[in-house]
Amino acid sequence: MYYIDSIIEMADNYGFDVKLNESMSKHTTFKIGGNAELFINAKHIQGLIDILSRCQVNEVPYMIIGKGSNLLVSDKGIDGVVIHLDGDFNRIKLIDNKTIYSGAGVSMARLCNFACEQGLSGLEFAWGIPGSVGGAVYMNAGAYGGEMKDVVLYADHIDKDNTVGRFTIDKLDMDYRHSIYCDNGYTVTGVALQLQPDSQVEIRRRMDEYMKRRKDKQPVEYPSAGSVFKRPKGNYAGTLIQQAGLKGKRVGDAQVSEKHAGFIINTGHATCREVKTLIKYIQNAVKTNFGVELECEVKTVGKK
């Protein structure tokens, strides 16, 4: 049984924004997804801990989201509580001349700009990744030869007993699109990043160069969740999909991008069901043609 009312009351008392039956299409870059039963913008750690505890005690399912840029949400929506980090989690500060501390709710775009303004290099690869800092650590996001693993010093979190803790990089188990947080269900609250001093002009030049490469190669003009599949060993998912003749393949309004076959784009009012059907179709075709199993990078969440 759900005791969601007591969670609404608690969030209200903390002054957190609360929305009932909030469409997840507003919170995902795919612009797809049914309603979250309850959507909360958590603004400070004590309130977040209390809400997580209340969810656990009342057996209400919950999930943390960042910017929803790696999510495919069910058309039937999400049971329970979806928590987005804001307020205190949306702050950045310089700890020393090489180290930035960022709240998990900060967008990667803001973090990259802040680093550049401070004359700190190391995050240029991430300019254009449309997620949050928490999501980027969770996923060990990467591009153009860089990944979060290279710059993270430590991450702060709330564990499953609702105790705050910290993992230094050696404990984070960061690997290709994976961190320990994919396995343990903890909530990342903030991250320290160690960078290298460099000229602002040079940093901005590299950021611009990566952004240009992104815009030239990726269908950034359409809603998507980025690369749908992880890179298979010794190959590229996009290349295999293209070689299977699937560029432009559609299911409803979901389409394999003509510009980059590793992306599925939402050309209008695509549904989660359409995207999932297209994913299955691609996986079968690539398996049949090349014997390669494509594993999803995008996380599918919500009601079955």
For binding to ligand FAD (CB under 6 A), which residues are involved? 29, 63-71, 85, 104, 129-132, 134-136, 138-139, 141-143, 181, 187-188, 218, 220, 224-226, 299
Q: Cα(28)–Cα(36) distance, rounded to whole angstroms?
A: 12
- Closest-by-Cβ residue to ligand FAD is 66
Shortest reach from residue 142's CB to ligand FAD, in Å: 5
Residues 74, 107, 179, 227: which is the catalytic one?
227
Shortest reach from residue 137's CB to ligand FAD, in Å: 8
Shortest reach from residue 8's CB to ligand FAD, in Å: 21
By beta-carbon proximity to ligand FAD, the closer residue of 136 and 286 is 136
* C-alpha 152, offset from chain centre: 16
- From residue 70, alpha-carbon distances to 35, 130, 197, 293 in Å are 17, 9, 31, 20
Residues 107, 177, 257, 274: which is the catalytic one?
177
By beta-carbon proximity to ligand FAD, the closer residue of 119 and 146 is 146
Residue 250 falls in the annotated catalytic set: no
Strands (E), the chain: 17-23, 35-42, 62-65, 71-73, 78-85, 92-96, 99-103, 120-121, 142-143, 146-147, 152-158, 164-168, 187-194, 196-197, 224-227, 250-251, 254-256, 263-266, 299-301
Q: Cα(129)–Cα(107) distance, rounded to whole angstroms?
A: 9
Residue 297 falls in the annotated catalytic set: yes
> CA nearest 110: which of 90, 125, 96?
90
Shortest reach from residue 125's CB to ligand FAD, in Å: 8
Residue 227 falls in the annotated catalytic set: yes
> What is the set of active-site residues?
177, 227, 297
